[in-house]
Chains A and B, each alone.
Chain A
Amino acid sequence: ENSLLRQVSSLLRRLPAIESVKFQDDFL
Chain B
Amino acid sequence: MDIEQKQAELIEQFVSRAENLRGGSLANVIVEATSHPSLFAFSEILSVPSVAELQGTEYSVYLDVLRLFAHGTWSDYKSNAGSLPPLQPDQVLKLKQLSVLTLAETDKVLPYDQLMQQLDVSNVRELEDFLINECMYAGIVRGKLDQLRRCFEVQFAAGRDLRPEQIGSMLQTLTTWLNTSENLLLSIQEKIKWADTMGELDKKHRKEIEERVEDVKKTL
- Chain B contact patch, size range: 20 to 34
- Chain A contact patch, size range: 10 to 19
Partner of A2, one of B105, B154, B157, B161: B161
Contacts of A16 in B (CB 8 A): 108
Contact of A10 with B159 in the complex, beta carbons under 8 Å = yes
Known: A3-B4, A3-B8, A5-B162. A10 touches B157 (CB 8 A): yes
B195 CB-CB contact with A under 8 Å: no
B166 CB-CB contact with A under 8 Å: yes
Which of chain B's residues 22-66 have a Cβ closer than 8 Å to chain A? 41, 43-44, 47
B201 CB-CB contact with A under 8 Å: no
Task: Kindly report which residue of chain B lies nearest to residue A19, judged by CB atoms.
Answer: B108
CA distance A19 to B144 in the complex (A): 12
Task: Kindly report which residue of chain B lies nearest to residue A4, judged by CB atoms.
Answer: B4
Interchain nearest-CB distance for A8 vs B (Å)? 6
A13 CB-CB contact with B under 8 Å: yes
Contact of A12 with B174 in the complex, beta carbons under 8 Å = yes
B1 CB-CB contact with A under 8 Å: yes
Contact mask for chain A residues 1-24; partner B; CB cutoff 8 A; 1 contact, 0 none: 011011111111111100100000
Interchain nearest-CB distance for A5 vs B (Å)? 5
CA distance A12 to B156 in the complex (A): 10
Contact of B159 with A5 in the complex, beta carbons under 8 Å = yes
Contact of B174 with A6 in the complex, beta carbons under 8 Å = no
CA distance A8 to B41 in the complex (A): 14
Most buried by B among A2, A12, A16: A2
Contact of A6 with B161 in the complex, beta carbons under 8 Å = yes
Task: Kindly report which residue of chain B lies nearest to residue A15, judged by CB atoms.
Answer: B177
Contacts of A10 in B (CB 8 A): 1, 156-159
Task: Kindly report which residue of chain A lies nearest to residue B5, judged by CB atoms.
Answer: A3
Contact mask for chain B residues 94-127; partner A; CB cutoff 8 A; 1 contact, 0 none: 0000000000110011000000000000000000
* A-B residue pairs, 5 tightest by C-beta: A6-B159, A10-B159, A9-B159, A2-B43, A5-B162
Known A2-B41, A6-B160, A19-B108; 8 more pairs at CB < 8 Å: A3-B11, A5-B170, A7-B1, A8-B170, A9-B160, A12-B170, A14-B156, A19-B109
